Structure formats: C-alpha cells, structure tokens
Amino acid sequence: MSTARYDENPARAGMGAVGALVILLPPALLLFTLFVIWPIGEASWYSLFNWNGLGPVDRFIGLKNYKWAFESAVFQRAIFNNLLVIVVSLVIQLPLALGVALLVAGRAWGSVAFRMIFFLPYVLADIAAGLIWRFMFDGDYGLVAAITHALEMKPVYLLASDPWAFSAILAVVVWKYFGFHMMLYVAGLQGVDKSLLEAAEIDGANAWQKFRHVTLPMLAPMIRLSIFFAVVGSLQLFDFVAALTRGGPFDTTHTMVSFLYYFGVTRMRVGFGSAVGDVLFVVCVAFAWGYRRWVMRDD
C-alpha cells in the first residue's frame, strides 16, 4: 500500500501544479498585459504620430520623432548625464558602500546603529529628499548660504550654476542610495564562511589578502546584483532632477526621463515623448538582458 501511495503522489502533485497554473496564470497574465504590454504597445504606436494627446491620432510622421530626439542637443546632454550618473555610481558610490559595509558588518558595538543611520536616507521618498537638499543648496537661506555667510563670502547658487548644478544632483544620488548598496553588501558579508577566513589566517594571510582572495570572490554575486541595480536606477533617474533643478540651468541637468517629461508630457507632445520612452525602454531591456545573459548567468 505504501508503494502505491508513493507512486500516486507525483501524479497528484503534478495535477495540483497544473491546476494552480490554470487558476493563477490567467489573472496574472491579464494584469501584466493591461499594465505592461498594452502601454508599451500604445507608446510605440503613438511614437509614429505627431500627436498632442487630444483628438484623433491621424498625423502619421513615421520615425521623425526619433530623428528629432537624437538631433536634439538637450537629449544628447541628457544621455551624457545618465552615463555620468552610472560612472559616479560605479566608481564612487559602490566602492564607498562596500568599504563602509566592511566596517559595520560585524557585531562590534554600535554597528547596528550605524547601519540604520546610513540606511535612513534610502527610506525617504526621492521627492522629499530632493526638496530637503534643494533647501540646503539654496544660496540665500540654506546650508550653503550659512557657510558662505560665516566665511563672509558672496552667495553661491549651486543649482543655478552650469558647472555645479549636476554635480549637486550627483552628490544627492550618492547620499540617497549609498545605504541601500551598503545593506546589500552587509547581507553578503554575513554569508561569508568564517572557517575560510580562519583557514586563510592560519596560512599567514594578512587582512588585504583575506579580503582579496576569500571575501571578495564570495561577495561577487552580491556585487554583480548591486551593479545591476545601480545602472538601472541611474537610467531611470528623474525625481531628483524634478525637485532640484527641473532640468536647468539652460536644460543642462536633464536625464532621459526628465527630458521625456518636460519636453514630451508637459509640452503636450505625446508622440515625441513616446518615442523618447521607447528609446529608454530599449536601452533598459537591452542592458538587463545582456547583463543577465553574460554577467549574472551563473548567479
């Protein structure tokens, strides 16, 4: 009897899995189609028209919206700004997060408190954080104003200065998301096998050698995941631009998303904005697919 029951269990389990699939898949597929596939298809369709969002969609212009976007100096600057955010995230933000994670990952006194302090900025809404920093960068009333007044200097308006405005945005990005990546690394460090570190120490390895040959290789999957989040988040950066500069001064601090919003949506150029959205979508999907295919294929 036990053998018969054992033989029947896989069949029953298979039937249960199929039943669950039949019941749960259609609603999920319907929601995914309505809120993901359908909007993407509509955006691609609208991008072929000169449409302001009102009335019939009948002014077909082909690929001219894409041509206008790539010919725009502001859009070219927006692409450069996105690349700059990616570089700063990879070169400054992630190494800094890893360094601090190495300091607070253990059980030393106060390490939990420091983790919470560094993670708190990530909890803030992006718009709220942007407005806080906008006040701090204000040349008349904020922290910068207080410093310049104390040093008896002329007021400095960072967000109105072409060389410094986007640097201010980059500083806020590093401050805001540094804690998120730090916590990823802390989680990865807590999973490192302590016996391997002890064995390396017995073999005479110093702190750098233990980190280079034991900790870093075991932390590699988390580092690859952190890089993925950093790049995708950099491509989608919008809230800080809207809160701090709104693309100014002279349209020099736009990213691709803020360019889409201010030159597409707010100016009632829905077709043009849809074309920019399609470009951003293709870039994100291409990066995500390629990164998952070649970099994270073993994770």
- At 11, the pLDDT band (50, 70, 90 cuts) reads low
Q: What pLDDT shows up at residue 14?
A: 59
H/E segment holding residue 197: helix 194-202
Q: What pLDDT shows up at residue 45?
A: 94
Euclidean distance between CA atoms 3 and 28, whole angstroms: 38
Over its C-alpha atoms, the chain yields an Rg (Å, rounded) of: 25
Q: What pLDDT shows up at residue 1?
A: 44
Q: Is 293 helix (H, G, I), strand (E, B) or coil?
A: helix
CATH classification number, 64-294, choose in 3.40.50.1000, 3.30.465.10, 1.10.1200.10, 1.10.3720.10: 1.10.3720.10
Comparing 14-18, 78-82, 161-165, 255-259, the range with the smallest average pLDDT is 14-18
The pTM (predicted TM-score) of the whole model is 0.88
Answer whether residue 28 shows pLDDT above 90.
no
Euclidean distance between CA atoms 15 and 23, whole angstroms: 12
For residue 60, which phi and psi values (nearest 5 degrees)? Answer: -70, 130
Comparing 107-116, 209-218, 254-263, the range with the smallest average pLDDT is 107-116
pLDDT tens digits, residue range 73-104?
999 999 999 999 999 999 999 999 999 999 98
Average pLDDT over residues 273-296: 93
Answer whether residue 63 shows pLDDT above 90.
yes
Q: What pLDDT shows up at residue 3?
A: 46
Q: Which of 66, 107, 70, 94 is nearest to 278 (CA)?
A: 66
- At 4, the pLDDT band (50, 70, 90 cuts) reads very low
HSE, side-chain direction, 13 A CA sphere, residue 150: 7
Angle between helices 216-235 and 73-88 (to 10 degrees): 160
Average pLDDT over residues 117-141: 91
Answer whether residue 232 shows pLDDT above 60.
yes
Ranges of each domain in the chain:
1-40, 64-294
pLDDT tens digits, residue range 192-217?
888 888 898 888 888 888 888 889 99
Answer whether residue 280 shows pLDDT above 90.
yes
Bridge partners, residue 49, by sequence: 60
Q: Which of 86, 297, 274, 263 is nearest to 177 (CA)?
A: 86
Residues 6+ apart with CB under 8 A from 217: none
As a whole-number percent, the residues of the chain with pLDDT over 70 amount to 94
Answer whether residue 21 shows pLDDT above 80.
no
